[in-house]
Amino acid sequence: MSRRTRPTWLEPAQSSPEVPEREALPPGNPLTTREGWRRFVGRAPRPPEPLSAEALLALPRATRAARQDARRDYHADLPLVSTPTIQKVIATGRLLVQLNRNQISARRGAIISGMSGTGKTTALTQLARAHELATRRRHPRDPERMPVLYVTIPPAATPRMLAVEFARFFGLEIGPSANLTDVTNTVCSVAAHTHVALVLVDEIHNLNLATRFGAEVSDQLKYFAERLPATFIYAGVEVEAQGLFAGARGRQIAGRFAVVEAAPFAYGTAEQRNAWDALVATLESTLRLRDHTPGTLPAIAEDLYRRTGGMIGSLSQLVRGAAILAIETGIEQITDDLLDLVPLDYAAIRHTAPTKTSRRALGEIATL
């Protein structure tokens, strides 16, 4: 396969040298808590180099099992590969933070919108991670500073439910008797003291402006945006189709938020195909499989596109799953047969055309 110049956006995300490696997130500390978020920001897994088959067998059984577990864990969560969406979200978010820094009201924000599996939450969290790491570098002696707040919109949310989500991120205990005003004031006070500058609101498609509670939650978000000197970034599935910009409230949102579209990779032009091939090659470079030959995945990039429909989430799952199977089976390389064993989401399967493997199999069956 001919060598192509990789776009500048296609580089594995770099770990921060200032932040030590930490343990994986325990189940009780998701990103929507302060502890979970800080672990996410500071996490920098080191890739385990594969041993030869002889060296691996020479290890004690417990040591060998632990090493293989570590390799599976690494491939289950491969280093992030940057994409045009991530780059655009980070550039847009950084500019908005600068523009809003001295604004008293009517601060501008952004909404990441697109189909499921196009990397919206990844882009959202990478923007915030980059912002927090930059803030830590500027304020190394202020460990209590919390520049980022991350929440999700619960299904069928009420204004108080949303306010409690904000409070939960800070670890605030909210009693059942606390009313909405109490919770809001407490959240705003803590956010001001910890210098929150970027607020992420995920699953914004759960906000239905056509309902009473949806409209009230929208008003509560706007109130938070007025109270907090921060930039708000939303993410959700096809928010335009969900009616987020409908009616008076929707027009107000549309007047203050830029939309960053998260779309599947296209494969029609030579430039688009080169971008996809480069993405596949960069993802392959993060693998640590003993017998995998570099260039194997770029050679089947078209087949990978057919399998995934250009969805970055589906491609990641496909490669990570095949890598884990390669370790478990001892094959130590990604093959077509292993790719066939990885379960993919329905959206990817729906867009999948017959692969070369399936056509070959059909031909063999036809000759029987």
Give the tens place of pLDDT for each residue, 48-60.
989 999 999 999 9
Rg (CA), the chain: 23
Cα dist from 232 to 155, 187, 258, 275, 330, whole Å: 20, 15, 11, 30, 47
pLDDT at 352: 62
pLDDT score at 20: 35
**The length of the chain, given as a count of residues:** 368
Closest CA to 120 of 11, 221, 201: 201
Has residue 26 got a pLDDT over 70? no
What CATH fold (topology level) applies to the domain 84-262?
Answer: Rossmann fold (3.40.50)
Residue 202 in tokens:
């995920």
Residue span(s) of the chain under CATH 3.40.50.300 come to 84-262
Residue 368 has pLDDT above 60, yes or no: no
Beta-bridge mates of residue 262: 114
What pLDDT, on the 0 to 100 scale, is given for residue 168? 95
Residue 314 has pLDDT above 90, yes or no: yes
CA of residue 355 relative to chain centroid, distance: 28
Q: Quick one: pLDDT at residue 353? A: 47
> pLDDT digits over 86-124, tens only?
999 999 999 999 999 988 888 999 999 999 989 999 999
Residues 350 and 85: their CA atoms lie apart, in Å, by 23
How much is the pTM? Answer: 0.83
Query: 121 — phi, psi (to 5°)?
Result: -65, -35
- Specify whether the CB–CB gap between 187 and 50 falls below 8 A: no
Which span out of 2-16, 75-89, 295-309 was modeled with the highest average pLDDT?
A: 295-309
Alpha-helix runs per DSSP H in 240-342: 247-256, 270-284, 296-299, 301-308, 312-329, 336-341
Confidence tier at 28 by pLDDT (50, 70, 90): low
